[in-house]
Structures are given as structure tokens and as C-alpha cells.
Amino acid sequence: MSTAAQRFLHDAAEKSADLMHREIIRRGMDSYDAAHLKGRARIKDWEAARQKCQEIKREAVNHLDRYLLQFEEKVTARGGHVFWAANGEEACAYVTNLATRLGVRTVVKSKSMVTEEIHLTPALEKAGIKVWETDLGEFIVQLREEPPYHIVTPAMHLNRGQIAKLFREKLDPAITTDDPVELMAVARRKLREAFFAAEMGISGANFLVADAGVIAISTNEGNGRLCTSVPRIHVVVTGIEKVIPRLEDLAVLWPVLATSGTGQGITTYGTLIGGPRRRGEADGPEEFHVVLVDNGRSQLLADAEQREVLHCIRCGACLNICPVFRHVGGHTYGTTYPGPIGSVLTPHLNGIKEFQHLSYASSLCGACTSVCPVKIDLHHHLLQNRRNAVSAGANKPSERWMFRAWRYAMLRPQSYELGGWAMRKALRLIYRLGLAGSAFDPMQVWNCYRAPVPLPVESFRAQWRKSVRSNGDSAT
Amino acid sequence: MPTEKVQTDNPSRERVLGRIRAGLRTAVVEPTALDRGRVIFEPVSDPLERFQRECVANLMECALTVDCAASARELAQVLQSLPAGEIFVQDDPSLRRLIEMAASAAVSGRPIRWSSQGAPAEASQATLTLAEVLIAQTGSVLVTAACGGRGASVVAPCHIIYAHVAQLVPNLATALGRISQQRIFDHNSFACVISGSSRTADIEKILVQGAHGPRRLVVILQSGS
């Protein structure tokens, strides 16, 4: 079986050469870039806004226990349930048992990356429960039986023609149009039936507001609203790091999240829910459950360098700007969270040995850090993960040997010179034999896609010595 | 409908809290705090003008009226433009009066379901509710469960809000501050800041208005009594 790193390299090479994929992503990102810049211009002092958001999240994460307990206290006082899950299995078991106990046959879900992370849908389906993803993008990727491509726009790798074909095959053979308005109408009709048939709605939460004891969900389509209004049970599945201290913090977090996520000034629905339907209210679920998922997050708190990774508000801005993401696409990462934040986070959540290669899926250009609305120093964290992998002995023995040899040579100029001479000779021979880019070529990784860089006739050292000799004292 | 404090079987609660506390014992060096003098958002000088401008940007309809009679005429016009079918109305004296005044042409023959009778039907053509406040900065309306419930602002293809200019607040911070001051969540399980009609851009980033919620969001904004 191939490793995650081998799969990554294979898929990255394939996707980079997929011209249709490149075109779809280029168009999508162009449109995001324009909206994002326009959105940022609406905020008078963008840098101050980022700093404010960073401070809010830092305060929350640095007092995580206190704010989570405050949130729990408020929610339970209103008749809601708060369940603490140490890992994904516990969270899935809680939701599945609850659904089974309450006779749930159909679940409607609004977008939640945490439920992807813990594989909640397969767990519910195993218990014989039908699960409908109701965000249009999520619905599309669910029909295609694939994971979300992007944390904000799950189906951005598909064009309207592909989506129309999918709908024709899976929903209605009579669909003739590929107009996005019509395609949305088809999904709306289909999902309306699900909303009104479902006994349970599952949502994520963008924020857990400690002082008010409410969850905050940002959605544009209204599917999150229906999931949390119509079914008789509402379950929120979210990470422990989503808590924020005060309701007023949303006055800056909401606009910044919307701007970074889609370029909007504010998301259409900023929904706040504090518990089950109260006596006298016209509608709303009778049961309200919040599942707080740890699943490795608390370990990050102990990491003095990378605790701030828990500040992430999952806006997707770092994915959008990343030159690597734009070329290899979201699915290539093979992780729940793709792009720079995923490359930083996944080794912590799923193991540094298997996912250390993601730290190298970056040119360290720092574009991700420059757009992050909570100022996470993403590219330095990628560098730290590289170091951590080496310290933990997770790198390949061949790499270790190579660096040992390099270190040896660097400390002994004559050995270095000899090595350089031998390498030039060897490469010249290999290139002459037409083996550039083959398995015999030490520069294979570079040369398999490119013409070899011409080899110099003599080393830099030799050139320097000559120059010193010809210029006499002036060159020294 | 439970309102009593409930007990949840929580075998991992202490373990998770323990891990969090253990993690937080690690000291982290942090950068300096924000210079308090910096202004993040441009102050709103004319809330009404700003609200109307933002409504246009949010693809909402905002009709400014001078009195109750004009609001009723506006409501009648909106209702006439909709297909036949039931409408859902928040059971509030001001809305009962407005419906009576709009009466005849628009409402006759159209069944009305009041929020006191329960949730809006899936097939409702429109919902009519009040709002708690209007937010100028973002062109938003804040509704709570008291505004006809949760479905009242999302189930029908058209949501009509009857509001007064005096309900305008300059920005989000003021609106959220009011939720805290008035302890809205002591009496409501739900609140929502709505900024336009339901929408999606999940297909090729092309904006489609009217996703799962209303295609039209109409604010009848009255300035006089």
C-alpha cells in the first residue's frame, strides 16, 4: 500500500497537469481575489481588525477551560445538553446513540468540517440513518461520494456542466440545463423534502460565545437555518477551540470571517442559538445538544510555538492564496483540512510520521501568513513541523545519511571540492548518455519535468581562484 | 420543552478539562496588544442613508414610508406581487392592525396563519414579522424567536419585515451590545442577524439568489407614527 506521501506526490503531479482543473480553479480564485480585495476595502483598518481578532482568539484559547465551562453552564441552564468528547469515536458514538434512542431515521446536516474530521456521516449511515448534506457544495460532493475539496466552497473543483451531469444521473434525468439558478432550484426542491422529513438537524458552529452561552453559525444559503429550526432535535458538533469570550466580539469576527471567506461584508445569516425551543415560541427543536470535540486539540495547547494554530476560524483564505493549493487542488492533500492550515494542523491531529510531507507542500513564501485574519504564523509553523519531524526521527534514513555526508564535506573544504568534482563528472556522463530524469539521475526529481540545467565547466572555487589571480591584490 | 437544567452523561468531561489545564500550563510568549486608538470600522454618520445603501448592496428591498397607512399600502403591493397561498404573520397587535389596513385586495382570499398557531407551513408564500433592531453598518435586521419563531425568517420565499426608523442602530457592536443588555437569551432560544436574501455561489462562484431560504427580503421602514 502506498503511503500518504506517495499518494500526495502522485496526485499532485496528476492535478498539476490537468488543464481543465487548472482553468476551473483559476476562475474560481480570480473571482474570490476580486471579492476579497473589495471586502477588505470596506474595513477602514484591516490590520487593526486582524489584530483584534487575534487578541480575541488568544484570550479565548489561553483561558479555554474557563470559557468552555461558562458556555456549558449557560446552555445546560436552558435545558440544553453539552457532551465532551475526548476523540472522534466518542463524539460519533454519542450522536449515533442519541439518534437511535430517539428513533431518528433521517438527518439533515449543514456544513461542518469537524463532522468530516470525525467521520460522523459514515457512523450514522452504519446505524441505518439517512444523512443529507444540505449546503449546495456539500450536497454536490456527497452525491459524488467524495470529500469536500475546500473548507468553504466544497465543490469549487467542478464546473456547471459536470454538476448538471451529476444531477441528471443522480436526481432527475429530465434536467436539460446547466444554469446555476436552475441547478440550485433542483437541489432546493430535493432538500426541502429532507428538511421537513428529518427528525434531527446537525450543524457545526463557527463560534461558541461564552458570556451569552450561544452557538454562532454563519451561513448564506439558509440551509443552516432550516437544519436548526425544523427538525425536533438539533445537534451541534464543534471543536473545543471555537469558543470566544463575549457576544460583542462578533462585531469584528463576523465581518472579518465573511471578508476572508467569501469577500462579503457580512454573511447573510449570523445565527445565534442558546438552547432548545422555549415555552411560548412558535417553533424550534425540542432537544439541543452540543458535542465539544477535543480529538487532539488539547495537545496543541502544550505546544509553546504552535498553540496559536487553535485560533483558526476556518475561513479558507490561506487555501485561496497558496500557490501550492492553486496547483495541486484540495483533494491531493488527502486530509480533512487542506492547504496551509491543513498542512500545519494534520501532523498534530493525525501523526507527524505519516503527514510530515505536508510541511514540504509549501514554498514558504508566507502568502498564507499575510492573509490569515487571526494572524497565524503559518509558514513558520510549517518550518517548525519540518524540524520536529527530523527531531522525532521521522525523516527517511537516506535523507539523514545525505545530510550527514553534506555536513562532513562542509566542514572539510577538500572533501567538498572532491565531491563537487565527482558530481559534475557523473552528471555530465549521465546527461551525455541521455539518462537525465531517469532513475540513474541523482537530479531525477527536477529533471523528469525539465531540461537539465547546463553544468558549469569548472567549479565556483576554481573560478574564484582564477579571478583572484588575474586581479591581483584588488580582488582580495 | 425542557427548560430545567439537565444532566448529560459525560464520562470524558474531566479528562478533556484535565488535558486543557495541563496544556495551558505551558508558558507562551505573546506579542503586544493592539493600540486602542485604532478605528477598525468607519463610523456611521447617517444611519438611515447607510442602511438604505447597504440594503441595495445586500440585494434587499427597503421601502421608506411616512406612516402606518403608507406601510399598509406598501405591504398590499408586495403581497399582490406574490402567487396565491397562505401567509404567515407574527402575532403582534401592530401587525394585526397593518394587515387589517392592507386588507381587501391583497389579503382577501389569502389564508393567514398567525405565529400563535404554530410554525409556518412549508408552502407559505410569505412571512411577515417585526425585527428587534436594524443595523446601518451592514444593512442587517436582527430578529429573535419572539419575532414569530425561527422558521418565520427562512421558510417562505419572501420575508417581509415591518420596522420603524427609530429601531436603527449605527453598527453591529451596538446591536450585539443590546442583546447582552436586554438579556435577550433569557427569553429567546434564538436570534439572527439577517443581511439579505438567501444565496449561494457554490457553482462556479456565480451568485444565485434564493437558495434554501427567501429569494426576497423586504423591509417596510416607517418614519412617522
Residue with the larger pLDDT of the pair B31 and A347 = A347
> What DSSP designation does A296 have?
T
Does residue A101 lie in a domain region? yes
Interface test with A, best of B1, B55, B144 (most A CBs within 10 A): B1
pLDDT of residue B224: 77
Are A102 and A51 in a shared domain? Answer: yes
Domain hosting A363: range is: 1-16+29-37+311-395
pLDDT > 80? residue A325? yes
Residue of B nearest to A49 (CA): B40
CA dist list (Å): A261 to A244, A253, A315: 19, 12, 4
Hey, what amino acid is at B33? A
Determine, for residues A279 and B3 on separate chains, whether the beta-carbon distance falls below 8 Å. yes
Are A89 and A234 in a shared domain? Answer: yes
Q: What DSSP letter does each residue of A3-41 carry, written as one string?
A: -HHHHHHHHHHHHHT-HHHHHHHHHHHHHHHHHHHHHHH
CA dist list (Å): A370 to A50, A360, B31: 10, 19, 16
Separation of CA A100 from chain center: 31
Q: What phi, psi does B87 have (nearest 5°)?
A: -120, 155
Cα separation, A116 vs A196, in Å, equals 24
Residues of A in contact with B176 (CB under 8 A): 247-248, 250-251
Confidence of residue A396 (pLDDT cuts 50, 70, 90): confident
Are A338 and A290 in a shared domain? Answer: no
Determine, for residues B40 and A76 on separate chains, whether the beta-carbon distance falls below 8 Å. no
Are A62 and A211 in a shared domain? Answer: yes
pLDDT of residue B4: 60
Percent of chain A scored above 90 by pLDDT?
Answer: 88
pLDDT > 70? residue B2? no
Residues of B in contact with A158 (CB under 8 A): 203
Does residue A139 lie in a domain region? yes
pLDDT > 60? residue A344? yes
Confidence of residue A392 (pLDDT cuts 50, 70, 90): confident
pLDDT of residue A394: 79
Determine, for residues B212 and A137 on separate chains, whether the beta-carbon distance falls below 8 Å. no
Cα separation, A86 vs A414, in Å, equals 57
Does residue A301 lie in a domain region? no
Burial of residue A25 (CB within 10 Å: 0-12, 13-18, 19+) is buried
For A85-121, the pLDDT digits (tens) are 999 999 999 999 999 999 999 999 999 999 999 999 9
Shortest CA gap A84–chain B (Å):
5
| In contact, B217 and B197? CB cutoff 8 Å | yes
Mean pLDDT of A446-468: 88
Are A2 and A120 in a shared domain? Answer: no
Buried b (16+ CB within 10 A) or exposed e, A256-286: bbbbbbbbbbbbbbbbbbbbbbbeebbbbbe
Mean pLDDT of B10-33: 90
Cα separation, B192 vs A220, in Å, equals 12
Hey, what amino acid is at B165? V
CATH number at residue A343: 1.10.1060
3-state SS, residue B140 = strand
Residue pointed to by grid coordinates 480533512? A336
Determine, for residues A274 and B190 on separate chains, whether the beta-carbon distance falls below 8 Å. yes
Separation of CA B199 from chain center: 15
pLDDT > 70? residue B34? no
Count of CB atoms situated within 10 Å of the CB of A74: 20
Cell of A220: 448564506
In CATH terms, the fold of domain B44-222 is Rossmann fold (3.40.50)
Determine, for residues B204 and A272 on separate chains, whether the beta-carbon distance falls below 8 Å. no
Opening angle at CA B36, ends B32 and B37, nearest 5:
130
pLDDT > 90? residue B3? no
Cα separation, A216 vs A225, in Å, equals 11
Buried b (16+ CB within 10 A) or exposed e, A378-400: bbebbebbbebbeeeebeeeeee
Cα separation, A355 vs A347, in Å, equals 5
Beta-carbon-side half-sphere exposure of residue A118 (alpha carbons within 13 Å): 29
Are A139 and A62 in a shared domain? Answer: yes
Cα separation, A124 vs A96, in Å, equals 6
Residue with the larger pLDDT of the pair B5 and A66 = A66
3-state SS, residue B125 = coil
Mean pLDDT of A279-284: 94
CA-based nearest residue to A335, from A361, A305, A370, A371: A361
Cell of B215: 429569494
Residues of A in contact with B195 (CB under 8 A): 265-270
Q: Which residues pair with A290 in a beta bridge?
A: A82, A236
- The shortest CB-CB distance from A278 to any of B38, B189, B194 is to B189
For B81-137, the pLDDT digits (tens) are 999 999 999 999 999 999 998 876 556 678 999 999 999 999 999 999 999 999 999
pLDDT of residue B14: 96
pLDDT of residue A475: 44
For B151-209, the pLDDT digits (tens) are 999 999 999 999 999 999 999 999 999 999 999 999 999 999 999 999 999 999 899 99
Are A232 and A341 in a shared domain? Answer: no
Are A10 and A78 in a shared domain? Answer: no
pLDDT > 90? residue A473? no
3-state SS, residue B184 = helix
Confidence of residue A476 (pLDDT cuts 50, 70, 90): very low
Mean pLDDT of A403-416: 92
ipTM: 0.95
Count of CB atoms situated within 10 Å of the CB of A450: 10
Cell of A103: 428513533
Count of CB atoms situated within 10 Å of the CB of B86: 15
Residue pointed to by grid coordinates 411577515? B128
Determine, for residues A302 and B149 on separate chains, whether the beta-carbon distance falls below 8 Å. no
Residue pointed to by grid coordinates 451596538? B174
Are A315 and A464 in a shared domain? Answer: no
Shortest CA gap A257–chain B (Å):
14
Mean pLDDT of A156-164: 95
Are A391 and A432 in a shared domain? Answer: no
Are A370 and A422 in a shared domain? Answer: no
For chain A, what is the domain count?
A: 3
Task: Using the 3D structure, point to which of A348, A363, A395 is the last residue of a domain.
Answer: A395
pLDDT of residue A171: 94
Are A161 and A287 in a shared domain? Answer: yes
pLDDT of residue B107: 65
